[in-house]
Structure 1
Amino acid sequence: MKRLVVAALALVAAAGVGLQASAWGNTGHRLIGVAAARGLPAELPAFLRTPGAAAEIGELAREPDRTKGGGQPHDRERDTAHFVDMIDDGRIMTAQGLSIDALPRLKSEYDAALLSAGIEVDDAGYLPYAIMDGYQQLVRDFATWRVLHAAEARETDPGKRAWYREDRLRREALILRDIGYLAHYVGDGSQPHHTTIHYNGWNRDTPNPEGFTTSRQTHGAFEGAFTARVARLDTVERGMTAPALEGFDLRARVPAYLKTTLAQVTPFYALEKAGGFAESDPRGAAFVAARLSAGASELRDLIILAWRDAGDDAIGWPTVKVNEVEAGTADPWLAMYGDD
C-alpha cells in the first residue's frame, strides 16, 4: 500500500486538500459524473436524463473514496482499484510486467502474472478490472430495468404490475449508484497520475533526463486544490468529444483509454516544469479541462454502450431474454419474482 500512503501524505501537505487520496478530489469526480449524465442521448431512459439524476451521479461518483478505511479485507480490494501503474510502453510497473494490452481474463490471473514477475498487486493496481467490472454490472442493471419496464407496461394483474413498478424503482436507485461507481473509476482513468509509475513526482528510481519535479506534493496539489480552483462544468462539457460507439470491444476499449491517459504523463510534467500550473497561467486550467472532458466523454459512451448491450442480454432465473420481453413474446414473472 506504499503508493496510497505516499499520495495521502502529499494531500495532507497540499493546502486545502483532505486526508484521503482521491483522483480529482471531490470537484473533478463530480464534474465528470454530471457532464456525462447531461450528455446522455434520448435513447436512454428518462429517469437518467434529469437534473436530479445528473446531480445524484455526480455525488455518487465520490463514493469509492468515501468508503475507504473499513479495514481488511474491505480496503485491499478497493484501494488498489483506483490506479494502474504503467511504464511508458504500457507494461505494468516494469519491463517484466505484463502489457496493458494483454490482460488476463480474471483478476486472479492478473495477480498471479504480477507475482511471477516479482510485482505486488498492491503497488501495481487493477484499475482496468474495476472499469470492466463496473461496465458489466451496469449492463446487468439495464437488462433488469428493461425487463421490468416492459413487463409493467403490459401486465394486467394489479398485484404483479405493482410489484414490477416497485422493483423498477429499486433498480433505478441501483443504476444511479452503479453509474456513480463506474464514474469514479473512469474518472480515475483520466487522471495521468493514476496510470503511471510517476504517480507523485517523477519516480526517483528511474532516469529523469528532463529534470522533472520529484516533489511528493505533485499529485495531491494537482488533482485537489488546483483542480477545484480552475475546473468548470461548462468548460468540461465544451471539451467533450462526439460519442465513439462503433466496433466496441470492452477488453480492447479499456486499455486503449488508459493508454491515452498514460500518454499525458510526460506532457503534464513538462507543463509543470514550464510553470503551467501557476495561478495566472491558463495552460494548467486547459490541461485539467481536457482530462476531465476525456473522462466525461468515456463515461457517457460506456453508459450508452451498456444500455445497448443490455438489449441482447438475458436476466433472471429461469433466464428470460430482454428483447423477447420487450417484444411481448415472453412473460418474465417467474424470472423476476422467483419460483421457489
Structure 2
Amino acid sequence: MTSEPLTRALAARDRWGFADSLRAFGVSPQVMGVLPYTMLEYVSRWRNSFRLWRVAPDSTVRAWIEPRIIDDAGILGHFVADGSNPHHTTKHFNGWVGENPKGYTTDTRFHGRIESQFVQAHVEEADLRAAATAAPQVFDNVRGAVVTDLQRTNRSVDSLYALDTATPFREESATPEQKAFAVSRMAAGTTMLRDLWYTAWVTSARP
C-alpha cells in the first residue's frame, strides 16, 4: 500500500472508519492492523479515568478508579513498546517475507531473538535511563504524535535487518552497534509512553 492511501486511511476517526478506508483501497484491515488506533483508544480511556479521579467525591471512589488507571497504563505500555520495535510496523515482523533483494533473514525466530533473548541478555534499566533524557512534553495532537512516532520507528526497519545480517542478534553475543540500536529504540518507546501518560494526566484537567 502506497503512502498516500495509507495517510488518507489514517485520517479516519476510529478503527472502523480506518478499516472501511482500507477496504476502499482493496486492502484487508487484518493485514494492516490497528496499532495506532489501539494506542489512541487507551490514551482516551486513561484521560477519562483521570477526569473521574479528579472529580471523585472521596478517597473511596478514587480507590475504585485507580486500579482501572493502572491496568490501562500497563496495557498501553505494551502497545507503545510494540510501536518502538521496527518489525512491528511492517509485514516483516518475524523474518523477511516476499521479495528480498538485500538477502535479509527469513528466520521465523527473528522476533523472539531480538525482543526477548537479546534484550534480556544485553540491555539494563541503567542503559535506558541514560538514553531517555528528553524533557516530558504534552502532545497538543495525540493522533499526530502517535502516527509520527510509528513512522519514525518504521524508518528503522532496514537498519534492524542490516544489523542482523552483519551479525545475528543472539543471547550469547552482542556488537556495540546492536546494543546501541536496541537501547535507542527502547528509549524511544520509554519516552513516548511517558509523554502519553503525562499528556493524559495534564489534559484530563481540561473541559
Matched, 1:173 2:67: yes
Matched, 1:258 2:150: yes
TM-score w.r.t. the length of structure 2 is 0.90
Structure 1, gaps ≥5 residues long: 1-93, 152-163, 314-340
- The equivalent of 2:93 in structure 1 is 199
- The equivalent of 2:120 in structure 1 is 228
- The structure whose residues are more often helix, as a share, is 2
Query: How does 1:87-236 map onto structure 2 within 5 Å?
Result: 94-95=1-2, 98-100=5-7, 102-103=9-10, 104-148=12-56, 151=57, 164-204=58-98, 206=99, 208-236=100-128
Measured in 2, the distance between the counterparts of 1:267 and 1:144 equals 44
- The equivalent of 2:131 in structure 1 is 239
CA 1:290–1:276 in 2, change beyond 3 Å: closer, same or farther? Answer: farther
Measured in 2, the distance between the counterparts of 1:108 and 1:173 equals 28
Amino acid at match of 1:134: Y
CA 1:100–1:197 in 2, change beyond 3 Å: closer, same or farther? Answer: farther
After the TM superposition, list the runs of 4 or more consecutive aligned residues in structure 1 that deviate by more than 6 angstroms: none
Query: After superposition, what is the alpha-carbon deviation per residue over 1:188-212, rounded to whole angstroms, capped at 9, x for unaligned?
Result: 11011110122222222x3x33222
Cα RMSD of the aligned pairs, angstroms, is 1.9
Bigger Cα Rg? 1
Query: After superposition, what is the alpha-carbon deviation per residue over 1:158-180, rounded to whole angstroms, capped at 9, x for unaligned?
Result: xxxxxx21111111111111111
Measured in 1, the distance between the counterparts of 2:206 and 2:158 equals 41
Which stretch of the first structure deviates more once superposed, 253-262 or 242-251?
A: 242-251
C-alpha displacement at 1:297, in angstroms? 0.4
Amino acid at match of 2:31: D
Measured in 2, the distance between the counterparts of 1:190 and 1:249 equals 19
Percent identical across equivalent pairs? 32
Which stretch of the first structure deviates more once superposed, 176-185 or 217-226?
A: 217-226
C-alpha displacement at 1:99, in angstroms? 2.0
Measured in 1, the distance between the counterparts of 2:197 and 2:174 equals 37
Contact preservation (8 Å) 2:139, 2:199? no
Contact preservation (8 Å) 2:138, 2:199? no
Measured in 2, the distance between the counterparts of 1:186 and 1:265 equals 17
C-alpha displacement at 1:273, in angstroms? 1.1
